[in-house]
Amino acid sequence: MSKIQKDKTTEERILAAAKKIFVQQGMAGARMQDIADEAGINKALLHYYFKNKEQLFEVIFMEAAGRLFPRINEIFLSDQPLFEKIERFCSEYISIVLENPYLPLFVLNEINRDPDYFLGKVWKGKNVPQPEKFLAQIEKEVAKGTIRRISPLNLLMNLISMTIFPFVAKPMFQKNLGLDEWQFRATMEQRKKEIPKFIIDSIKK
Amino acid sequence: MSKIQKDKTTEERILAAAKKIFVQQGMAGARMQDIADEAGINKALLHYYFKNKEQLFEVIFMEAAGRLFPRINEIFLSDQPLFEKIERFCSEYISIVLENPYLPLFVLNEINRDPDYFLGKVWKGKNVPQPEKFLAQIEKEVAKGTIRRISPLNLLMNLISMTIFPFVAKPMFQKNLGLDEWQFRATMEQRKKEIPKFIIDSIKK
DNA sequence: AATATTTTTGACCATTTGGTTAAATTTCGC
DNA sequence: GCGAAATTTAACCAAATGGTCAAAAATATT
């Protein structure tokens, strides 16, 4: 039981509750009863708004995935210069995830359970990922001689890893490095600039 | 149902089955019946060897965590020079995880569900993590002028992130970048040397 | 071979859990 | 205010699930 917002509509309260429970417990661990309790309503009413657990889950998952994946695609598709792209990605991505630190682990976890199903849902339609452009851009910079010779694939992995992983391992980092909530946030704020600097220092010629 | 090893003892078959199911489905998603089936035995026999789900899970979890955490602690505690440490960590860690690519996500996920409980189990006794030494070592190198000024915390996060995250996001990377199993492995083999090079290029003065 | 011990099984139980139903209550259109 | 529609609830149901038990089968001990 937590604070039940009286101003929100019932459906909004259900979605907020479902998000909290699903993100915390995963699809398998989440209980419809817990979601109902969290929303301050009856379980039957839950099924009045969402016909079953799977459908409710899919709404939550797609909303979560929808916040994370389009941004990754942006760095593939935009027309900016490489270094600007890297800076923008880190800065914007960290901002988004700081508001929902547990989303990445949640999404990666469900993808892991059934990659084809979930990635099929996420990347449907014209939204398929096209990393070719970004990878080609890196190769072009290598050819121009502005950056050292590096495998584009590795550079991409490095960028995404350094940006996202600290959130995935948040409890571990916090506990092992003794960071409270505030210190963790501050560190991630720093990293908006530290990561691009780290990368550029490594590859710039 | 999969191949049931006749040469292994029943207990070993149970542990292998439990590992497969738990790592794939997580604690909440795993079914005792599925573990029994996978081991080619009766559910009652499962409880004859392990008194309940939680106990069986803990055996699996501790075995998994025991493979991942001590290595991280090593980079904190060993006496090697910084660059060697970084190289050794990447190389050894990737080797270990290549044999069980799904362990990191599994462990991080369960830690996330109950950080204090699980991290308490993992780091019990004299095995508590002591990052101070590693962080101090970085600061010393900065002072000596061998590497540029960088926040030790950020460097540590970068190292661990680049090493582990590709495994956590394995299905996503594979699907979105079109890597089959073999190509993924080859990429990670490359990264044993690419990551240290990437880091050292960034911080060496 | 006979007996004691360990391992394995099928049948069963209690609880949890997702989901339904019919009735009650509230809200809305008039 | 009144009937209809939408919202909310309590009570239930069936299937799934973790766990038990007594008997059977296999193995070890003498």
Contact A163, A89 (CB under 8 A): yes
Separation between Cα atoms, residue B49 and residue B46, nearest integer Å: 5
User: DSSP characters for A96-152?
Assistant: HHHHSTTHHHHHHHHHHHSHHHHHHHHT-GGG---THHHHHHHHHHHHHTSB----H
Q: How many CB atoms lie within 10 A of CB B71?
A: 15
Q: Any CB–CB contact under 8 A between B157 and chain A?
A: yes
> pTM of the entire structure?
0.93
Instruction: Give me the mean pLDDT over the A105-122 stretch.
Output: 90
Which tens digit of pLDDT belongs to each residue from B136-151? 999 999 999 999 999 9
> Which residues sit opposite A147 in a β-bridge?
A204
Contact B98, B185 (CB under 8 A): yes
Separation between Cα atoms, residue A188 and residue A172, nearest integer Å: 15
Q: Cα(first)–Cα(last) distance of chain B, in Å?
A: 56
Identity at B66, one-letter amino acid code? G
Instruction: Give me the mean pLDDT over the A100-129 stretch.
Output: 88
Contact A13, A41 (CB under 8 A): yes
**CB burial class (10 A; 0-12, 13-18, 19+) of residue A139?**
middle
Instruction: Give me the mean pLDDT over the A85-108 stretch.
Output: 96
Q: How many Å is the Cα radius of gyration of chain B? A: 20
Chain A hits for B168, CB-CB cut-off 8 Å, are: 108, 165, 168
CB nearest to A162's CB, from B148, B151, B158: B158
Contact B74, B131 (CB under 8 A): no
Q: How many CB atoms lie within 10 A of CB B11?
A: 11
**CB burial class (10 A; 0-12, 13-18, 19+) of residue A25?**
middle
Contact B56, B18 (CB under 8 A): yes
Q: Is it the case that residue B126 has pLDDT exceeding 70?
A: no
Instruction: Give me the mean pLDDT over the A60-89 stretch.
Output: 92
CB contact under 8 A, B168 and A108: yes
Closest among B25, B19, B171, B62 to A29, alpha carbons compared: B25
CB nearest to B166's CB, from A161, A166, A174: A161
Separation between Cα atoms, residue A134 and residue B81, nearest integer Å: 36
Q: Is it the case that residue B3 has pLDDT exceeding 60?
A: no
Give the model's pLDDT for residue B111: 93
Q: Is it the case that residue B5 has pLDDT exceeding 80?
A: no
From residue A47, alpha-carbon distances to B59, B160, B166 in Å are: 38, 43, 38
CB nearest to A162's CB, from B151, B161, B194: B161
Closest among B199, B183, B205, B202 to B88, alpha carbons compared: B199
Instruction: Give me the mean pLDDT over the A187-205 stretch.
Output: 97
Q: Looking at the complex, report in whole angstroms how far the Cα of residue B7 sits from the nearest Cα belonging to chain A.
A: 30
Contact B177, B152 (CB under 8 A): no
Instruction: Give me the mean pLDDT over the B33-50 stretch.
Output: 96
Mean pLDDT for chain A?
92
Give the model's pLDDT for residue A6: 53
Give the model's pLDDT for residue A1: 38
pLDDT band for A59, please (50, 70, 90 cuts): very high
Instruction: Give me the mean pLDDT over the A81-107 stretch.
Output: 96
Which tens digit of pLDDT belongs to each residue from A19-52? 999 999 999 999 999 999 999 999 999 999 999 9
Give the model's pLDDT for residue B190: 97
Closest among B98, B107, B102 to B27, alpha carbons compared: B107
Give the model's pLDDT for residue B1: 40
Which tens digit of pLDDT belongs to each residue from A128-178? 888 999 999 999 999 999 999 999 999 999 999 999 999 999 999 999 999
Q: DSSP code of A195?
A: H
Q: Is the dihedral of CA A13, A97, B181, B158 positive or negative?
A: negative
Q: Which of B 171-200 lie inside 8 A of A, CB atoms?
A: 171-177, 187, 190-191, 194-195, 198-199
pLDDT band for A126, please (50, 70, 90 cuts): low
Separation between Cα atoms, residue A28 and residue A131, nearest integer Å: 32
High-pLDDT (> 90) share of chain B, %: 82
Q: Is it the case that residue A2 has pLDDT exceeding 90?
A: no
